[in-house]
Chain A
Amino acid sequence: MEFINPDVVDLSRFQFALTALYHFMFVPLTLGLTFMLAAMETVYVVTGRQIYKDMAQFWGKLFGINFAIGVATGITMEFEFGTNWSMYSHFFGDMFGTPLAIEGLMAFFMESTFVGLMFFGWDRLSKQAHLAITYLVALGSNLSALWILIANAGMNMPEGAHFDPETMRMQFESFVNLVFNPDAQAKFVHTSVAGYVSAAMFVMGISAFYLLRGQHRQFAARSFRMAALFGIISTVAVITLGDVLGRLDYEKQPTKIAAIEGLWHTSNPPFEPWIVAALPDDARQENHYEIGVPLVLTPLITHTFDQPITGMHELEEAAGPRIRSGIDAVAALRRYGVTHSSTDLAQFTAHEQDMGYGLLATRHAPGQDVTAIPADQIDDVVRATQPDILPNVFVTFWSFRLMVFLSLWFFALFAISAYLSLKRRLERSRLLLKLCMWSIPLPILATEFGWITAEAGRQPWTVFGWLPTFLSASSHGVSYMVFSLIGFVLLYSVFIAAELYLMFKFARLGPEHDSMEPHAPATPQASAFDMRPMAS
């Protein structure tokens, strides 16, 4: 039997985390900007005012830069499932492959085709037809995200599949359950709307830059107002859906919610404080320097005043019997693979729900084989496996908090900005305009923290409760992993640098056509990136 090399597993995880986080620097803007473009163009079609066409074209150009550079970064991840996570792909491919294939079709056929029409169709399509195309681009990009999030929700809360002892993999059983998995629904809306927040901050921040410099004032005022209103409603929606996700974690992923809240012991409702800040110590399994607000945690997570939230110590204790039963499941499955007898199958079925916990014990079994554990050592193996059911608490706790603290900042900033814009007092509030400008990267940072919360919090599983992460990786050599990791870091850093360079350049240049500022200089550089072959 081939031994699992923990370095290869860690490197595979690191590589995936890195490529996913790089990729997600581009995604939120695509998700949100497309709908903002649709909003601007809708106003153009309804009012017939040229300035809204200028807006749709200028912000569309910045969207184009993000799309062109960002699109490639997602493709590598789809290949990584095959190259670095082949055990996972075997085990969960039946479930995971379906949404991923649909995502490919959405992204490549729907989104990419319509993006071309959107950029090149301004002079060739009627106003209404072009507007319909812009909506289809927005829908296409968000629907391709939908399928990825359905796949991800399947890993967090596997629904619509069962384990098949014949094929040794999760077998797809219900498309409806896969698509309407409550986690998929909440994740999709949370993530898509997080994209709206990111795009709104982007448009608002760059518009603030023009207002501060007194350039393109009418253009910036309209962009700013639309973005502020877009942003405030989206922030409220993101917070609402964040609450839904927290409740789902409470119901289905108790280790994740306990780690998110730094809850080592079962809560004491209703007084248990919500910990605002602390230093969780994973090694000693306790928090240092806790600052909490009493009475908040129970209603926040459970939406009641009397339901307790199970703490990590208690979850560890409760995992003991499941690990023991899981070891029996793995042993029965191994026997069944050879004998195909109904007795072995019945034994496996009796312990099937705990199989993942048995696999988790592999790392502590002699020769990484749970069937080889001598009877007198089972207790030791179970005890050694129990702490493995917990994710890294420090990372999960803080990534969640940073996401939440940032969302409160967005709420305040969008609310004040929308108010001052409606009162037409923006230009007097220079500090606010500067804050808007400096906040441009923050929603993207919040989405990165969101992903860290979701994925670090899911550990030690790739498929929650069924397949441990350390059993999911391919058996590459360390040098292969290091080599490919360095390659990705270099390549993706070039992409990010190119994105930042082009974004700064074209944002600084401002709109090429500004119908309300007729004397705005037409810059030769700007037309170099004009994607319309025959600019009007």
Chain B
Amino acid sequence: MTKLLRLAGLAIVLVVSLLFAVFVGDQGPWYFAWVIGTVMIILISGAGAIMLDAQSGLSADGEI
């Protein structure tokens, strides 16, 4: 049930994002690009850190 709710929540976010994109698309898309871009920057930098955890095998003395 919680999984379903989460998926529904995600779907609502996606629909709102799409509507937002269509609306601002007429006006010039930069606000929308900022929202998407910021999320992307956060996810990529976070993924980079998690990759480092995997690379170092959680040990404290490997090369950095």
Residues on B lying within 8 angstroms of A by beta carbon are 24, 27-28, 30-31, 33-34, 37-38, 40-42, 44-46, 48-53, 55-56, 60, 62-64
**Which residues does chain B contribute within 8 Å of A43, judged by CB atoms?**
46, 49-50
Residues on A lying within 8 angstroms of B by beta carbon are 35-36, 38-40, 42-43, 46-47, 49, 52, 176, 180, 182, 185-186, 188-189, 192-193, 196, 211, 217-218, 220-222, 225-230, 233-234, 237, 241, 244, 418, 421-422, 424-427, 516-517
**Is the pair A49, B53 in contact by a Cβ cutoff of 8 Å?**
yes
**Is the pair A517, B49 in contact by a Cβ cutoff of 8 Å?**
no
**Is the pair A35, B46 in contact by a Cβ cutoff of 8 Å?**
no
Known: A35-B42, A39-B42. A189 touches B34 (CB 8 A): yes
In the assembled complex, the Cα of A516 lies from the Cα of B33 at a distance in Å of 37
In the assembled complex, the Cα of A273 lies from the Cα of B24 at a distance in Å of 36
**Is the pair B34, A188 in contact by a Cβ cutoff of 8 Å?**
yes
**Is the pair B48, A188 in contact by a Cβ cutoff of 8 Å?**
no
- Could you give 29 example pairs across A and B, Cβ below 8 Å? A35-B38, A39-B41, A39-B42, A40-B46, A40-B49, A42-B42, A42-B46, A43-B50, A46-B46, A49-B53, A180-B24, A180-B31, A182-B27, A185-B30, A188-B34, A189-B30, A192-B34, A218-B56, A221-B64, A222-B49, A225-B45, A225-B48, A225-B52, A229-B41, A230-B44, A424-B62, A424-B64, A427-B63, A517-B60
**Which residues does chain B contribute within 8 Å of A176, judged by CB atoms?**
27
Contact of B31 among A188, A230, A517 (CB under 8 A): A188
**Is the pair A241, B30 in contact by a Cβ cutoff of 8 Å?**
yes
**Is the pair B45, A229 in contact by a Cβ cutoff of 8 Å?**
yes
Known: A180-B28, A192-B34. A35 touches B49 (CB 8 A): no
Q: What is the chain B residue whose CB lies nearest that of A177?
A: B27
Query: How would you classify the secondary structure of chain B's contact residues: helix, strand, loop or mixed?
Result: helix
**Which residues does chain A contribute within 8 Å of B37, judged by CB atoms?**
189, 193, 233, 237
In the assembled complex, the Cα of A36 lies from the Cα of B45 at a distance in Å of 9
A-B contact count (CB 8 A): 106
**Is the pair B49, A225 in contact by a Cβ cutoff of 8 Å?**
yes
Q: What is the chain B residue whose CB lies nearest that of A183?
A: B28
Contact of B41 among A218, A221, A234 (CB under 8 A): A234
**Is the pair B49, A38 in contact by a Cβ cutoff of 8 Å?**
no
**Is the pair A233, B64 in contact by a Cβ cutoff of 8 Å?**
no
**Which residues does chain B contribute within 8 Å of A418, judged by CB atoms?**
48
Known: A188-B34, A225-B48, A226-B48. A427 touches B64 (CB 8 A): yes
**Is the pair B48, A422 in contact by a Cβ cutoff of 8 Å?**
yes
In the assembled complex, the Cα of A229 lies from the Cα of B46 at a distance in Å of 9
Q: What is the chain B residue whose CB lies nearest that of A190?
A: B30
**Is the pair A229, B44 in contact by a Cβ cutoff of 8 Å?**
yes
Q: What is the chain B residue whose CB lies nearest that of A240?
A: B33
B41, B45, B55, B63, most chain A CB atoms within 10 A: B45
**Is the pair A189, B64 in contact by a Cβ cutoff of 8 Å?**
no
A218, A418, A425, most chain B CB atoms within 10 A: A218
**Which residues does chain B contribute within 8 Å of A38, judged by CB atoms?**
42
The 9 closest A-B pairs by CB, nearest first: A180-B27, A185-B30, A221-B64, A229-B45, A39-B42, A230-B45, A226-B45, A229-B48, A182-B28
**Which residues does chain A contribute within 8 Å of B56, judged by CB atoms?**
218, 221, 424
Known: A196-B41, A233-B44. A188 touches B64 (CB 8 A): no
Q: What is the chain A residue whose CB lies nearest that of B24?
A: A180
**Which residues does chain B contribute within 8 Å of A222, judged by CB atoms?**
49, 52-53
**Which residues does chain B contribute within 8 Å of A220, judged by CB atoms?**
64
**Is the pair B30, A47 in contact by a Cβ cutoff of 8 Å?**
no
